[in-house]
Chain A
């Protein structure tokens, strides 16, 4: 309700503070987020054609070796990685039960999914959104307006969570509750979604007005933050490419390489 402020809370889910001298544990956070994103894209897209366990497995092992240096704590990894692990295992299981490629195909499907997901997860959870947007705009020439828009929209997520809770309480106050009736549960859910949508549009409009009032989009912007790009940032995508190529080479050498649609 009115308690939108939590003075006791020191953190903000949207800011990610990498310690300046974080040591080895934060080695990965020192890269430009844009470089990490490119590396993750190389690995993720590069693995799409290969459906065998060895190619995916090599990449997965290579990326897993980086996890201890990603600066992510165990809880974050568990919260974010859990669903992917579950998806990998269940897609493996389904392939094993119903697929035509037997257990090898099943293992391949599971490993491939994890190998594609993990790099992206490390980038998403291990980068500050602001730094990522800066990197995208300044280094990868992504258009600035949408990038800043997405960044502003991220600020609204915690607000929406609050509003959802309030709307749920308000329905109970009006005597609306599904109890154990599944049909009512669905209709009530959509009623709440609509109420949330109205609130979200209102909040979004207010923020757009505020951004307009601060001259957003009136002319060329200058940048108060400089997105640094070091040699290491160029090397990271190259290393990713090397890892990918060696995974394919190893798999081909072992005769295990299976390509999609082959």
Chain B
């Protein structure tokens, strides 16, 4: 990216604050911050501190015609002018590549930004070619965007941002939604781009260790307030590392240390026998034919054991998880219950009635909202025990206990959709478990349970799963989370190219010596 030799933008905030429409309290207040042209800044803070809001404000999206409504106070200047979207040379790359791609063809999508800026067509074509080259896009400009993997999509999004020739580049957790391979690719692209551009960069990323080499300054924000720490990464982490970690920020050298009981192990509860699965039927015309994602897969799930399904996105590990959970029918083969589960119902899991399935096999979905079925947090927790036939008094006692334990007591009356990401995750796990204290399901399956969580929720979650395992329940997780794999995994099953292979079979690796007897 030759930025026409233009320097990066200068950012100045003084006394800046933001309150979302309909909220009583400010997300951020009294932010004083100056970023010099060409600086690379990492914004840090616990979840809910308004880091993304600040990025959106810098991108001019909080202005009168912007997408985000609320009250702004103080000054926010980009190159001495009130931040506004459009002509100011600002580009934003957000988390989810899926919702950032606008056009059906790769080249058209990269051209979208420059078109909106009124760039002459000849120059757009040159910029599109250059941007696709710079991010190492492996296909031509006419390649359909719907057929890209997550990492490829996010590279396309970055190309689209760079084609706007930004002098201020804003990155909002650009690798958060990607599998490790995709995330590495995107980080590689960013490293190369940042070497060549003189643009100012502001980055939000809560997995600090992975991006700390990209930045030369760290700014820490606090909820409802302003900047509480500012300096080089080394200085900030040396001085505030422990405090940040305590607030849930992923700080290098201050990783979470969950206390876990030993894995008791146990007999087989579920087996997938010769399971073959296909992609769901497409919608409409010209859809690609259905593809086999899993072919003749055999997997066993054991009691008192944490089993992890790993593999790249699209490899079929989520499909395998829904099959093991008895939620969908395989194309061929069956998922069969064993031991205590077989005494409940001998039929393949996919043929169990939903009510019975929910009592014995709990599933936690990646998007917590998908599994909420009632209007308040309390009702959500009451739902399963009441349906399982517990009486009112017993149910209320159990629900109160769960609320307390999940730090949701104050939120018992609110709608589940209005919770924060971490709160939603805790609630969704609770709903899968909440048949009653002594009635947790025999098998708990989770899809990316730790995805996007801060260290506090991460630790609570892992400890909860550890307890369930210690009680002899089977835990199955589809995950990319390396730390989760190291801390709470007894059996690792790698899913790739339609096959599932048991990779590693250990005690929980890091406790290996003192863990299992």
Contact = CB atoms under 8 A, between A and B. Distances in A.
Nearest to A206: B99
A1 B373 contact: no
Nearest to A157: B283
User: 6 smallest A-B Cβ distances: which pairs?
Assistant: A218-B86, A12-B144, A175-B358, A12-B146, A177-B354, A1-B318
Interface stretch (B22-30, B188-196, B244-252, B359-367): B359-367
Nearest to A154: B104
A163 B370 CA distance: 8
Contacts of A177: 353-355
B104 A15 contact: yes
A17 B68 CA distance: 37
Nearest to B314: A5
Contact of B164 (A80, A130, A172, A214): A214
Interface residues of A, number: 76
Given A170-B370, A209-B56, A218 B116 contact: yes
Given A179-B353, A214-B112, A165 B85 contact: no
B508 interface: no
Nearest to A202: B369
Given A172-B327, A210-B94, A210-B102, A13 B373 contact: no
A11 B286 contact: yes
A214 B120 contact: no
A76 interface: yes
B121 A166 contact: no
Contacts of B398: none
Residue with the highest number of chain A CB atoms closer than 10 Å, among B99, B117, B144, B279 = B99
Given A1-B322, A169-B328, A6 B358 contact: no
17 contacts: A1-B447, A2-B366, A13-B283, A16-B286, A162-B280, A175-B357, A175-B358, A176-B354, A199-B369, A199-B370, A203-B99, A209-B68, A217-B116, A224-B108, A224-B114, A224-B124, A224-B128
Interface in B73-110: 85-87, 91-92, 94, 96, 98-105, 108
Interface in A13-72: 13-17
A104 to B, nearest CB: 34
Contacts of B103: 130, 151-152, 155
A116 to B, nearest CB: 20
B354 A211 contact: no
B61 interface: yes
Nearest to A129: B104
B99 A11 contact: no
A216 B164 CA distance: 12
B200 to A, nearest CB: 16
A103 B145 CA distance: 50
Contacts of B120: 222
A260 interface: no
B115 interface: yes
B287 interface: yes
A185 to B, nearest CB: 13
Contacts of A5: 148-150, 313-314
A12 B146 CA distance: 5
Nearest to A177: B354
A208 to B, nearest CB: 5
A253 interface: no
Interface in B314-337: 314-319, 321-322, 325, 327-328
B314 A80 contact: no
Residue with the highest number of chain B CB atoms closer than 10 Å, among A4, A125, A151, A195 = A4
Interface of A: 1-17, 75-76, 79-80, 125, 128-130, 148, 151-152, 154-155, 157-159, 161-163, 165-167, 169-177, 179, 191, 195, 198-199, 203, 205-226
Given A11-B144, A206-B99, A214-B116, A2 B478 contact: yes
Interface string B268-301: 0000000000011011111110010100000000
B100 A207 contact: yes
A173 B325 contact: yes
Interface string B103-139: 1110010011111111111001100100000000000
Contact of A219 (B114, B118, B448): B118
Interface in B340-391: 353-355, 357-359, 362-363, 365-367, 369-373, 383-384, 387
A211 B322 contact: no
A167 B370 contact: yes
Contacts of B387: 175
Nearest to B313: A5
A17 B105 CA distance: 10
Contacts of B142: 15, 17
Given A172-B357, A209-B56, A219-B86, A6 B291 contact: yes
B25 to A, nearest CB: 22
Given A3-B313, A172-B354, A218-B87, A79 B124 contact: no
A173 B432 contact: yes
A170 B147 contact: no
A17 B146 CA distance: 14
